[in-house]
Homo-oligomer: A and B are copies of this chain.
């Protein structure tokens, strides 16, 4: 049996957003590895071994997955959204660099609909003009780097998608991010809070950045700060294609 390590994106939550190639990989897998809530999205079946793990265990999880694949198993590492955006793909390559014995394991990456695309679709088209995506988690990134990127993103007039805005363990980061964007002149910008997009818990709110409160976000929320030209038309929010 030839092993294979597949790193797959499950999309934001709705089964209708799981791509057929990801569904086929799950159907063919012997082992599913990932953060427990994502592994929980895969239907159990005879012959399929589930390996749920805790958050912040990315490197161990990646190493475990490579060992299984090297043993000949067909392993799927599951991420929410897209595996290449603030998710497991980078962690697998980091683990591969420190584990040269697994250089020959066959790897493939199957993209998915990342949260900002699903959130944007629900709100309208706030990513229809140039934009950036910033992970507000400072587990692996010094906070000054995040601050600098927020200021430059504001100056560039990008729409800004903020991933992992707020956790119980470090609630102050998102409040500071909002303050930085206000100081950078973004108070008027329409800001979208998209929580648990495409799930039964979905909630979409939009308001000017200056009225946004930190507690409007949690770790299931994706925040999109519009650019200076982002507008409302009826219930929709969109970025015009022309630069302002």
Question: CB within 8 Å of B: which residues of A?
Answer: 11, 14-21, 24, 58, 82-87, 89-94, 96-97, 103, 107, 109-114, 117-118, 120-122, 124-135, 140-142, 145, 148-149, 152-153, 155-158, 231, 233-234, 236, 238-243
Contacts and interface: CB of A to CB of B under 8 A. Distances in A.
B129 A158 contact: no
Nearest to A150: B156
Contact of A117 (B18, B114, B140): B114
Given A90-B125, A96-B234, 9 more contacts: A17-B20, A18-B20, A20-B20, A94-B238, A94-B241, A129-B135, A130-B132, A130-B134, A141-B241
Copies of this chain present in the complex amount to: 2
Contact of A238 (B93, B127, B236): B93
Contacts of A131: 132-133
22 contacts: A17-B20, A84-B121, A84-B125, A86-B241, A89-B125, A90-B128, A93-B124, A96-B233, A97-B233, A103-B234, A111-B113, A111-B117, A113-B113, A114-B117, A129-B135, A130-B149, A131-B132, A141-B243, A145-B243, A149-B158, A152-B152, A152-B153
A58 B240 CA distance: 12
A89 B238 contact: yes
A118 B58 CA distance: 22
Contacts of A86: 128-129, 241
A231 B17 CA distance: 31
Contact of A16 (B24, B96, B134, B153): B24
A9 to B, nearest CB: 8
Contacts of A134: 130
Contact of A90 (B96, B121, B238): B238
